[in-house]
Amino acid sequence: MQTKVENNKAWFLVMPVFLIVAFSAIIPLMTVVNYSVQDIFDPYTRYFVGTEWFKQVMLDSRLHEALLRQFIYSFTILAIEVPLGICVALMMPTKGRGASLALILVAIPLLIPWNVVGTIWQIFGRADIGLFGAFMAEIGVDYNYASNTTDAWLTVILMDVWHWTPLVALLCYSGLRAIPEVYYQAARIDQASRWAVFRHIQLPKLTNVLIIGVLLRFMDSFMIYTEPFVLTGGGPGSSTTFLSQSLVQQAIGQFDIGPAAAFSLVYFLIILLVCWVFYTTIMNMQKDK
């Protein structure tokens, strides 16, 4: 609105926000930018290296592999969690005590800390004492997530699906609850099939919560660290070493602060870019409707 400022009180009110943003985002980010263009030997000896670290990072084949792994991982879990979450939401009861019970049951995995989730699955999958592992052994499947790459992937994905599908389901559940009853009544009268009801009433009303769900799950899974670290430690070999873990290996394991900083920035830009592409595509699709 084009109205003139009458006093400066408002500035004091927004100051805290500026300060919080400065401390929580801008200053750390600038520190990382600073590191990414220097070679640091010790706190007093550092050289300006320009884009050296960035070149190195972009050409590093280990990172290429981790990035590829990361994309496969994120898209796989999205492809499973989104449809599964919708299905779970559709099956949840809507009235009475069953509804509250279902809500609590579905929400439980979300309440467990990341490292505990990793531990749970680490034990769960062991062939000697774990329920899942022992069961696999019982039916004669040679399952070992510590030595077999496929098994390791399978377990990591299962774990993520178990942990995070509830989030998508809860989002969809709230979206479904917001659809007025008359829409279902009209559809019944129009003799619409269950699929038509889903396709033309439920899905269109779910698009907004699904956008949020997919964005959240993408960003979260793209930065996944704790659970695979606890479960497989990134192995066997480096088969389940995702981006954040390989970043940590570089920064802390090898103390290559400069390349790690450059890596962080590239990492950050990738997430930003993918989210932006994703968001604009969906928004354009919405507009066409």
- Residue in this structure with the two tokens 């998508």, named with its chain if needed: 168
State the binding string over 130-169 for other proteins (x if CB under 8 A, else -).
Answer: ----------------------------------------
Residue 188 found at the interface with other proteins (CB under 8 A): yes
Whether a cis peptide bond, with omega within 30° of 0, leads into 236 is: yes
Which lies closer to other proteins via its Cβ, residue 97 or residue 194? 194
Beta strands in 56-191 (DSSP E): none
Residue 179 found at the interface with other proteins (CB under 8 A): no
Could you give the CA distance from residue 202 to residue 205 in angstroms, rounded to a whole number? Answer: 5
**Which residue in the set 6, 42, 128, 138 belongs to the binding site for other proteins (CB under 8 A)?**
6
Could you give the CA distance from residue 81 to residue 275 in angstroms, rounded to a whole number? Answer: 18
Could you give the CA distance from residue 30 to residue 214 in angstroms, rounded to a whole number? Answer: 29
**Which residue in the set 50, 204, 237, 253 belongs to the binding site for other proteins (CB under 8 A)?**
204
Which residues 6+ apart lie within 8 Å of 114 measured at CB? Answer: 226, 227
Q: Give min distance, CB of 19 to other proteins, in A.
A: 26
State the binding string over 270-289 for other proteins (x if CB under 8 A, else -).
Answer: -------------------x
**Which residue in the set 71, 114, 132, 183 belongs to the binding site for other proteins (CB under 8 A)?**
183
**201 contacts 141 by C-beta, under 8 angstroms:** no
Q: Give min distance, CB of 92 to other proteins, in A.
A: 23
**Which residue in the set 8, 45, 61, 191 belongs to the binding site for other proteins (CB under 8 A)?**
191
**Which residue in the set 8, 45, 193, 284 belongs to the binding site for other proteins (CB under 8 A)?**
193
Token pair belonging to 72: 């496969």
**Which residue in the set 100, 185, 254, 280 belongs to the binding site for other proteins (CB under 8 A)?**
185
Which lies closer to other proteins via its Cβ, residue 80 or residue 201? 201
Residue 186 found at the interface with other proteins (CB under 8 A): yes
Token pair belonging to 22: 């400065």
Residue 211 found at the interface with other proteins (CB under 8 A): no
Which residues 6+ apart lie within 8 Å of 260 measured at CB? Answer: 35, 247, 250, 251
Q: Give min distance, CB of 289 to other proteins, in A.
A: 6
Residue 1 found at the interface with other proteins (CB under 8 A): yes
**Applying CB under 8 A, which part among 17-25, 148-156, 196-204, 216-224 lies near other proteins?**
196-204
Beta-bridged to residue 68, according to DSSP, are: none
Could you give the CA distance from residue 128 to residue 51 in angstroms, rounded to a whole number? Answer: 51
Angle between helices 257-288 and 203-222 in degrees, nearest 10? 170
Token pair belonging to 239: 């088969």
**Applying CB under 8 A, which part among 14-22, 132-140, 145-153, 186-194 lies near other proteins?**
186-194
SS3 38: strand
- DSSP character at residue 92: S
**Which residue in the set 52, 162, 200, 248 belongs to the binding site for other proteins (CB under 8 A)?**
200
State the residues that interact with other proteins by CB under 8 A. Answer: 1-3, 6, 180, 182-183, 185-186, 188-193, 196, 200-201, 204, 289
